[in-house]
């Protein structure tokens, strides 16, 4: 970018305007100073939402028309089945890309995006936003302080109780081939955070189940990190008694965080960050346990806007992209292996 370019807002386009595109990406982009100039959607209700949310933006019906615009960034928030198609189209048009998780439905599909990026010399990154949850940021601080000693195990969960399928939910009803199920959805987040906290890992155990008869809805993985930490990761829509969000065991105690921070709830309510940060507290309550002794500790504020602050900096050449290609590939590889080696 030229010096004059560095003064103007970055121009963004969004492919897909459902939960991910509208609730997460559009509001975070706006809150971090991006100029949303175009939105791709063919759904009549979402077309109306896009026009109401961004009256000055172009609402388009094809990826070909989107990539022809003069944009600094395209956010791929479309259905999982077209993530790779949309991302590669943007890269070949010379436009950097943020891809909502999962990057691809398979390792091969993910690798095709990396290949296109390398061939075109155009960067991409993946939206592993849970690395900026309050719990993830608090864990990093606690580990740095040595508050619970040497860590040997992490239990991390996204567990809910939804015994009935949600009508119209493509994530719950779509086949593996179309990108449905919790292995590609919430487990992607769990793996991303585990690798970020404790480094490279190998899959030790996988159970991928379909309890309600549609897409996989109860998925448990165990991964062994080269650092010596074991991570047990559970994503379930049929957990009648959900466990704590995260429990980390160390030689001098345990860190327990039972709840999600409020960031997703804020975005669902239509609340938008200001100047790249939240204006309200976004903490989860955190406790250190040492047997019968339980101490509440101060936790970190979660801040998804930091992801797009880093994207902005990467586009302007002032910092690296927020999620590396190595991490994107590692998560995709573990997802593929988990499906292949599931005991169910």
Percent of the chain predicted with pLDDT > 90: 92
CA distance 14 to 8: 19
pLDDT value, residue 1: 55
DSSP β-ladder status, 151-159 and 73-76: unpaired
One domain, residues 151 and 89: no
One domain, residues 154 and 264: yes
Instruction: Give the model's confidence band at 5: pLDDT under 50 very low, under 70 low, under 90 confident, else very high.
Output: low
Q: Range with the lowest mean pLDDT among 211-220, 221-230, 310-319?
A: 211-220
Q: What is the mean pLDDT of the chain?
A: 95
One domain, residues 120 and 179: no
pLDDT value, residue 171: 78
Q: What is the mean pLDDT of residues 74-93?
A: 97
DSSP β-ladder status, 246-250 and 253-257: antiparallel
One domain, residues 218 and 242: yes
Residue 176 has pLDDT above 90, yes or no: no
Tell me the C-alpha to C-alpha distance, in Å, between residue 212 and each of 100, 209, 217, 275.
26, 9, 7, 43
CA-nearest of 259, 258, 257, 255 to 288 is 255
One domain, residues 234 and 187: yes
> Are 160 and 62 a contacting pair, CB within 8 Å?
no
One domain, residues 141 and 277: yes
> Are 280 and 266 a contacting pair, CB within 8 Å?
yes
**CATH label of the domain that carries residue 55:** 3.40.50.720
What is the residue range of 54's domain?
5-127
Residue 204 has pLDDT above 80, yes or no: yes
Q: Give the tens place of pLDDT for each residue, 248-288.
A: 999 999 999 999 999 999 999 999 999 999 999 999 999 99
> Are 313 and 319 a contacting pair, CB within 8 Å?
yes
pLDDT value, residue 7: 75
One domain, residues 83 and 119: yes
Instruction: Give the model's confidence band at 218: pLDDT under 50 very low, under 70 low, under 90 confident, else very high.
Output: very high
Look at residue 331 and tell me if it is in a domain: no
Q: Which of 97, 127, 157 is the last residue of a domain?
A: 127
Residue 191 has pLDDT above 60, yes or no: yes
Look at residue 310 and tell me if it is in a domain: no
- The total domain count for the chain is 2
- Which long-range contacts does 56-64 make (Cβ < 8 Å, 24+ apart)? 63/15, 63/89, 63/90, 64/89
> Are 34 and 272 a contacting pair, CB within 8 Å?
no
One domain, residues 163 and 293: yes
Percent of the chain predicted with pLDDT > 70: 98
Residue 4 has pLDDT above 80, yes or no: no
Instruction: Give the model's confidence band at 168: pLDDT under 50 very low, under 70 low, under 90 confident, else very high.
Output: confident
Q: What is the mean pLDDT of residues 170-192?
A: 89
Q: Give the tens place of pLDDT for each residue, 305-320.
A: 999 999 999 999 999 9
pLDDT value, residue 179: 86
Q: What is the mean pLDDT of residues 15-20?
A: 96
CA distance 3 to 14: 26
**CATH label of the domain that carries residue 168:** 3.30.360.10
pLDDT value, residue 21: 97
Residue 3 has pLDDT above 80, yes or no: no
Look at residue 104 and tell me if it is in a domain: yes
Helix, strand, coil percentages for the chain (3-state, nearest 5): 35, 25, 40
């Amino acid at each position: 970018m030229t010096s004059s370019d560095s003064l103007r807002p970055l121009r963004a386009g969004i492919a897909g305007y459902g939960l991910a595109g509208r609730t997460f990406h559009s509001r975070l982009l706006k809150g971090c100073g991006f100029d949303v100039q175009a939105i791709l959607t063919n759904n009549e209700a979402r077309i109306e939402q896009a026009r109401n949310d961004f009256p000055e933006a172009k609402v388009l019906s094809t990826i070909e028309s989107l990539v022809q615009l003069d944009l600094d960034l395209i956010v791929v928030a479309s259905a999982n089945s077209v993530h790779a198609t949309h991302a590669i189209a943007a890269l070949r048009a010379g436009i950097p890309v943020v891809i909502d998780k999962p990057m691809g439905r398979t390792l091969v599909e993910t690798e095709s995006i990396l290949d296109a990026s390398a061939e075109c010399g155009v960067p991409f990154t993946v939206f592993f936003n849970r690395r900026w949850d309050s719990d993830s940021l608090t864990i990093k601080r606690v580990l740095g302080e040595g508050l619970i000693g040497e860590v040997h195990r992490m239990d991390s969960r996204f567990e809910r109780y939804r015994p009935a399928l949600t009508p119209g939910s493509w994530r719950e009803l779509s086949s593996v081939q179309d990108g449905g199920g919790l292995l590609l959805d919430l487990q992607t987040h769990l793996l991303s955070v585990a690798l970020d906290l404790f480094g490279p890992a190998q899959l030790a155990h996988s159970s991928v189940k379909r309890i309600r008869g549609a897409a996989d809805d109860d998925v448990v993985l165990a991964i062994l990190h080269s650092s010596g930490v074991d991570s047990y990761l559970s994503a379930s829509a049929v957990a009648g008694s959900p466990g704590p969000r995260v429990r980390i065991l160390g030689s001098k105690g345990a860190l327990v965080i039972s709840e999600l921070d409020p960031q997703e709830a804020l975005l669902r309510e239509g609340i938008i960050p200001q100047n790249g940060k939240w204006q309200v507290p976004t903490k989860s309550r955190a406790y250190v346990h040492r047997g019968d002794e339980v101490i509440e500790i101060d936790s970190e504020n979660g801040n998804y806007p930091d992801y797009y602050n880093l994207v902005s900096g990467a586009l302007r050449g002032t910092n690296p992209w927020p999620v590396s290609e190595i991490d994107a590939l590692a998560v995709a590889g573990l997802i593929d292996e988990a499906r292949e080696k599931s005991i169910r």
